[in-house]
Copies of this chain bind each other. A is one copy, B any other.
Amino acid sequence: MATTIIDIARLAGTSKSTVSRFLTGGIVKKETASSIEEAITSLRYTPNVNARRLVQSKTQVIGVVFDDISMYYYAEIMQGIQQVANQSQYVCNFFSRANCNRSEADFLSLFAQGQVDGIIFATFRQRNAQEIADIATSGLPVVLLGSPANHPGISHVDVDNRLGISELVHYLHGLGHERIAYLNGPEEMPAAVSRLDGYLQGLSACKLPCLGGLVVDTPWSVIGGESALASLLAQPESFTALICSNEFCAFGAARALQAVGRRIPQDVSIVGFDDSPLLQYATPGITTLRQPFAQMGQMAVKQLMANIQDPQAIPASIYLQPQLMQRASCAPLVVSSQVG
């Protein structure tokens, strides 16, 4: 049926060993090489990857598993992953768990036996001990992306949530703000926990008091941000700046703030976490911390490659720093402008 290495050998007047050697970059005489080349183009030959993978027990494929591929940032992560993978002649298999109700363990066995050379799990959630054990015993190189904890034996790449929010506190403090409210995320999200940590750390580093009423929990949604702002206004403590632990609640909070007549940034400075057109095009544009998703993807692949090439390579935890995207939603404190 399809043309094989043997057809090439026959046409080039040599043996399949020599053709194979040519294909894999071994030593062949110039003349032989050129007649093989000729045969390959004239027969439009492409090596059969499955035969190659079978004999080499190597696939040049990495598997990438997402929680739910529909969030905008997954696109960026994928881009980063793909870019580096392709540079290294690797191909990516992407999966979204949301559409196939398989557990990570299912993926481990799905990928077992030669499907992929390694896996990136890009799922932003907590893992239990069993799941970690499954990964560790699978024998496959694995990198966790956007995951919180540092598990011995498993590499992982994440953004430095704590540092990011802490910098944000410094930034607002530098503008003169001392009463900085905080919209906290759901506690089952590890990222939310780290961000709250960053807020508290930032406050203490700036020698600012932590005023209990100024921390309000919210689900990470526009509506969540709106109602969180309502409870913030309902409590007695005043504030001149507001840090939102997520973009959607930032947008909601900003809108709710404006709806009750508070001006941004004259009355309240507001910052978000995560970036999207929503914050970019809000009026005013909302200052936010941008997660370097593409770079996170790139780093994850690089680390995975290292682990694939050398199974003894030491696993690493890599934290990338979020970048401050300055827009018009923050201003220096004017003493008369406190609200609350």
Residues of A at under 8 Å CB distance from B?
A: 1-2, 46-51, 53-54, 57, 59, 61, 69-72, 74-76, 78-79, 82-83, 86, 91-96, 98-100, 109, 112-115, 222, 251, 255, 276-278, 281, 283
**Contact between A100 and B78 (Cβ–Cβ < 8 Å)?**
no
Measured CA separation A293–B278 after assembly (Å): 21
* Chain B residues, CB < 8 A from A76: 70
A277-B277, A278-B277 are contacts. A113–B72 as well, Cβ < 8 Å? no
* Chain B residues, CB < 8 A from A115: 49, 91
From residue A221, how far is it (CB to closest CB) to chain B in Å?
A: 11
* Chain B residues, CB < 8 A from A48: 54, 113-114
Residue in B75, B78, B278 whose beta carbon sits within 8 Å of that of A281 in the complex: B278
Q: Can you list 13 residue pairs at the A/B interface with Cβ under 8 Å?
A: A48-B54, A48-B114, A49-B114, A50-B50, A69-B75, A69-B79, A72-B72, A74-B75, A79-B98, A91-B93, A93-B93, A93-B94, A255-B283
* Chain B residues, CB < 8 A from A69: 75, 78-79, 82
Measured CA separation A46–B108 after assembly (Å): 11
**Contact between A100 and B113 (Cβ–Cβ < 8 Å)?**
no
* Chain B residues, CB < 8 A from A57: 1-2, 50
Closest to A64 in B: B94
From residue A214, how far is it (CB to closest CB) to chain B in Å?
A: 25
From residue A64, how far is it (CB to closest CB) to chain B in Å?
A: 9
A75-B71, A113-B47 are contacts. A82–B54 as well, Cβ < 8 Å? no
> Which 10 pairs show the lowest CB-CB distances between chains A and B?
A50-B53, A50-B54, A83-B99, A46-B113, A86-B100, A46-B112, A94-B94, A48-B113, A50-B114, A70-B75
**Contact between A96 and B113 (Cβ–Cβ < 8 Å)?**
no
* Chain B residues, CB < 8 A from A98: 79
